[in-house]
Structure 1
Amino acid sequence: MSIIRVENITKRFKDKLALDNISFNIEEGEIFGLIGPNGAGKSTLINIITNLISCDSGDVFVENKNLLEDTIYIKSIIGLVPQELAIIEQLTPYDNLEYFGYLYGLSGKLLKDRINEALEFSGLMEVKKKKISKLSGGMKRRLNIAIAILNHPKILILDEPTVGVDPQSRNHIFDFIKKLSKENNTTIIYTSHYMEEVEHLCSKIFIIDEGKEIAFGDQEYLKSLVFSNKKIHLKLNSLSADLLFNLKNLKGVVSQEENKDMMVSLIVDEDFSLSNAISLIENNNSSILEINYEVPSLEDVFLNLTGKNLRD
Structure 2
Amino acid sequence: MILQQHHSTKPVIEVRSLTRHFAKRKAVDEMSFSIQRGEVCAFLGPNGAGKTTTIKMMTGLLEPDSGTVLYDNIENRSNRHDLRRLIGVVPQHNNVDKELNAVENLKVHGLLYKMRGKALQRAIDESLEFAGLTEHKHKPASKLSGGMKRKLVIARALMHQPKILFLDEPTVGLDPLSRRKMWAFLQKINKERDCTIFLTTHYIEEAERLSDRVIFIDSGKIITQGTAASLKQHLGPFVLEIESEEVQHEFFSNKEHALQRLTHISHDSISGRIRDTTLEDVFLHFTGKRLIKNA
Question: How far apart, in 2, do the equivalents of 1:55 and 1:302 lie?
Answer: 27
| 1:222 CA displacement | 1.8
| 1:229 CA displacement | 5.3
Checking the alignment, whether the CA contact within 8 Å between 2:236 and 2:277 is kept in structure 1 is no
Equivalent residue, structure 1, for 2:3: none
Q: What secondary structure sits across from 2:261 in the alignment? A: strand
Q: Mark the CA change 1:85 to 1:145 in structure 2 (over 3 Å): closer, same or farther.
A: same
Alignment equivalent of 1:253, drawn from 251, 254, 257: 257
Checking the alignment, whether the CA contact within 8 Å between 1:8 and 1:21 is kept in structure 2 is yes
Q: Spell out, residue by residue over 1:120-157, the C-alpha distance to the aligned partner (whole angstroms, 9 max, x if none).
A: 11110111111222211111111011111001111111
Equivalent residue, structure 2, for 1:304: 285
**Range with bigger deviation, 21-30 or 51-60:** 51-60
Provide the TM-score with structure 1 as the length reference. 0.78
Equivalent residue, structure 1, for 2:243: none
Provide the TM-score with structure 2 as the length reference. 0.82
Q: Mark the CA change 1:15 to 1:139 in structure 2 (over 3 Å): closer, same or farther.
A: same
Alignment equivalent of 1:50, drawn from 59, 72, 75: 59
Q: Spell out, residue by residue over 1:262-291, the C-alpha distance to the aligned partner (whole angstroms, 9 max, x if none).
A: xxx998xxxxxxxxxxxxxxxxxxxxxxxx
Higher gyration radius (CA):
1
> Is the counterpart of residue 120 in structure 1 residue 126 in structure 2?
no
Question: How far apart, in 1, do the equivalents of 2:47 and 2:183 lie?
Answer: 23
Q: What secondary structure sits across from 1:138 in the alignment? A: helix
Equivalent residue, structure 1, for 2:276: 295
Equivalent residue, structure 2, for 1:242: none
Question: How far apart, in 1, do the equivalents of 2:79 and 2:276 lie?
Answer: 45
Q: Spell out, residue by residue over 1:16-46, the C-alpha distance to the aligned partner (whole angstroms, 9 max, x if none).
A: 1122211111011111101111221111111
Equivalent residue, structure 2, for 1:36: 45
Q: Mark the CA change 1:15 to 1:137 in structure 2 (over 3 Å): closer, same or farther.
A: same
Percent identity reads: 42
| 1:187 CA displacement | 0.7
Unaligned 5+ segments in structure 1 are 233-249, 260-264, 268-293
**Range with bigger deviation, 296-305 or 182-191:** 296-305
| 1:168 CA displacement | 2.9
Aligned partner letter, 2:261 = Q
> Is the counterpart of residue 71 in structure 1 residue 77 in structure 2?
no
> Is the counterpart of residue 23 in structure 1 residue 4 in structure 2?
no
Aligned partner letter, 1:52 = L
Checking the alignment, whether the CA contact within 8 Å between 1:256 and 1:266 is kept in structure 2 is no
Runs of at least 4 residues of structure 1 off by over 3 A?
A: none
Question: How far apart, in 1, do the equivalents of 2:142 and 2:23 lie?
Answer: 41
Question: How far apart, in 2, do the equivalents of 1:106 and 1:69 lie?
Answer: 21
Checking the alignment, whether the CA contact within 8 Å between 1:34 and 1:191 is kept in structure 2 is yes
Unaligned 5+ segments in structure 2 are 1-9, 241-253, 267-271
| 1:211 CA displacement | 1.2
Q: Mark the CA change 1:216 to 1:231 in structure 2 (over 3 Å): closer, same or farther.
A: closer
Alignment equivalent of 1:136, drawn from 145, 148, 169: 145
